Amino acid sequence: MYDLIIVGAGPIGLNCAIEAEKARLNYLVLEKGVLVNSLFHFPTNMTFFSTSNLLEIGGVPFIAHSEKPTRRESLEYFRRVAQSWKLRIHYYEGVEGITKTNGIFKVTTSKQVYEARKIIVATGFYDHYRPLNVPGENLPKVKHYYDEPHPYVGQKLVVVGAANSACDVALETFYKGAEVTMVIREPNIYEKVKYWIRPNIENRIKEGSIKTFFNSTVKEIKEKEIIIQTPEGEKTLENDFVLAMTGYLPNYDFFKKIGIEIGDDENKIPVHDPETFESNIHGLYLAGVIVAGMQTSKLFIENTREHAAIIIGDILKKNKVLR
Ligand SMILES: Cc1cc2nc3c(=O)[nH]c(=O)nc-3n(C[C@H](O)[C@H](O)[C@H](O)COP(=O)(O)OP(=O)(O)OC[C@H]3O[C@@H](n4cnc5c(N)ncnc54)[C@H](O)[C@@H]3O)c2cc1C
């Protein structure tokens, strides 16, 4: 019987584990993949938009070569955090179900069943992309995750989307020799594109080196072509690859399965007490970026690190018996 089970070993799940360590709780972190699985799957050459000090957890200094750390440096950092705090994590053990009977949670994973008094769900959003919902989306040439530019050298590439990831991907592949076209639903690049990316992408679009269709959507993807709807009518472009950088979503099926209610507004925020992060299920808390629901750019590592101390504080306050 654990005092606490934390679902997800992302930066915020780890921070919850650190606070649980500090409170001497008997806890376990269950992670379906590797340590900081989302960060591990970020683009290979990615640089964070946060400075390293704003990603620090557990008082462990984050030393990076530049002001903003790279993905690779972040993997080193969080590994060091997990090792120095001796965090108790089971990897490759996804949580498949959580039920509650007589005040005790039963957590079913891909390997076994655990019991716990409290649960923190910190499952992030990077596993679930927003689909385009168009014919041809399942063709192997359509990717919803970007890794590195090399496969796209000399290829006709369509990048869908206008936020940071789409702009980053369009620029990186363009500079490595892909023939890049952007298809953007809105009339502009996303207003919150980082200030160090914006001038570069806007100038490449203006000079025509990255051809861009604004107010346009993808209609269909074929083996060698893509059909888009533009203000000037339907256009068929020759195409080798599509990178759909259309964003990500929390795993709503999982929330539903374990009984977390979802707000009925357009942001689909999982129901929780904003003071304590306790969900509609007494004793089950939400932490990290999932708290913002569909507004995935509102919360990030920087501004969700505080969730851990608040949640563990609430657990201790409500359950003096634990320790
Ligand atoms: C490209 C990109 C760049 C970003 N850059 C920054 C930045 O510079 N600064 C910043 O503050 N934020 C940044 N963010 C946002 C932030 O990094 C991520 O959203 C961050 O990973 C959120 O942390 P988290 O712990 O809430 O979730 P995650 O890191 O996504 O962790 C969730 C974990 O839960 C695991 N999991 C999911 N389901 C289950 C299950 N059923 N059972 C067990 N484990 C499960 C996942 O495998 C994952 O390891 C960026 C996001 C992206 C996509």
Residues with CB under 6 A from ligand 1: 7-13, 30-33, 37-39, 42, 46, 48-50, 94-95, 122-124, 126-127, 165, 254, 288-289, 300-302, 304
φ/ψ of residue 239, rounded to 5: -155, 135
Residue 317 CA to residue 112 CA, distance in Å, equals 30
Check the CA dihedral 122-294-304-168 and report its sign: positive
pLDDT at 322 exceeding the cut of 90: no
Nearest ligand 1 atom to the CA of 251 is 38
Here the tokens at position 7 are 């679902």
Which residues are bridge partners to 143 per DSSP?
243
Distance 255 CA to ligand 1 centre (A): 16
pLDDT in tens, 162-205: 999 999 999 999 999 999 999 999 999 999 899 999 999 999 99
pLDDT in tens, 239-271: 999 999 999 999 999 999 999 999 998 999 999
Distance 229 CA to ligand 1 centre (A): 33
**If 0-12 CB within 10 Å is exposed, 13-18 middle and 19+ buried, where does residue 41 land?**
middle
* Strand, helix or coil for residue 270: strand
How many other CB atoms sit within 10 Å of the CB of residue 171? 18
* Ligand 1 atom 50: residue of nearest CA: 300
Nearest ligand 1 atom to the CA of 11 is 25
Share of the chain above pLDDT 90, in %: 97
pLDDT in tens, 1-49: 999 999 999 999 999 999 999 999 999 999 999 999 999 999 999 999 9
* pLDDT tier, 273 (very low <50, low <70, confident <90, very high otherwise): very high
Distance 225 CA to ligand 1 centre (A): 33
Question: Could you tell me the residue ranges of all domains in the chain?
Answer: 2-128+248-318, 142-244
* Ligand 1 atom 51: residue of nearest CA: 300
φ/ψ of residue 70, rounded to 5: -95, 165
Query: Probe ligand 1: pick from 89, 126, 197, 298, max atoms within 8 Å of CB?
Result: 126
Classify residue 47 by its DSSP letter: B
pLDDT in tens, 110-165: 999 999 999 999 999 999 999 999 999 999 999 999 999 999 999 999 999 999 99
Cβ proximity of 64 and 70 under 8 Å: yes
* Strand, helix or coil for residue 52: helix
- What's the pLDDT score for residue 319? 82
Nearest ligand 1 atom to the CA of 46 is 1
Distance 10 CA to ligand 1 centre (A): 6
pLDDT at 323 exceeding the cut of 70: no
- What's the pLDDT score for residue 79? 98
pLDDT at 321 exceeding the cut of 90: no
Q: At what angle do helices 198-206 and 164-175 cross, to 10 degrees?
A: 60
In the block, residue with structure tokens 């759909």: 244
* pLDDT tier, 234 (very low <50, low <70, confident <90, very high otherwise): very high
Q: At what angle do helices 71-84 and 11-22 cross, to 10 degrees?
A: 20
Q: Select 2-128+248-318's CATH number: 3.50.50.60, 3.40.50.300, 3.40.190.10, 3.40.50.150.
A: 3.50.50.60
CB-hemisphere CA count at 13 Å for 283? 19
Cβ proximity of 229 and 216 under 8 Å: yes
In the block, residue with structure tokens 């750019």: 297
Question: Cα–Cα distances in Å, from 138 out to 144, 222, 225, 308?
Answer: 10, 10, 14, 38
- What's the pLDDT score for residue 225? 98
* Ligand 1 atom 26: residue of nearest CA: 288
Residue 242 CA to residue 245 CA, distance in Å, equals 9
pLDDT in tens, 3-13: 999 999 999 99
> What is the radius of gyration, based on Cα positions, of the chain?
21
Query: Probe ligand 1: pick from 301, 303, 305, max atoms within 8 Å of CB?
Result: 301
CATH class of 142-244: alpha beta
Question: Residues 62-81: what's their mean pLDDT?
Answer: 97
Question: Residues 293-310: what's their mean pLDDT?
Answer: 96
Q: Chain-wide mean pLDDT for the chain?
A: 96
* Ligand 1 atom 1: residue of nearest CA: 42
Residue 273 CA to residue 94 CA, distance in Å, equals 26
CB-hemisphere CA count at 13 Å for 176? 16
- What's the pLDDT score for residue 77? 98
Distance 9 CA to ligand 1 centre (A): 9
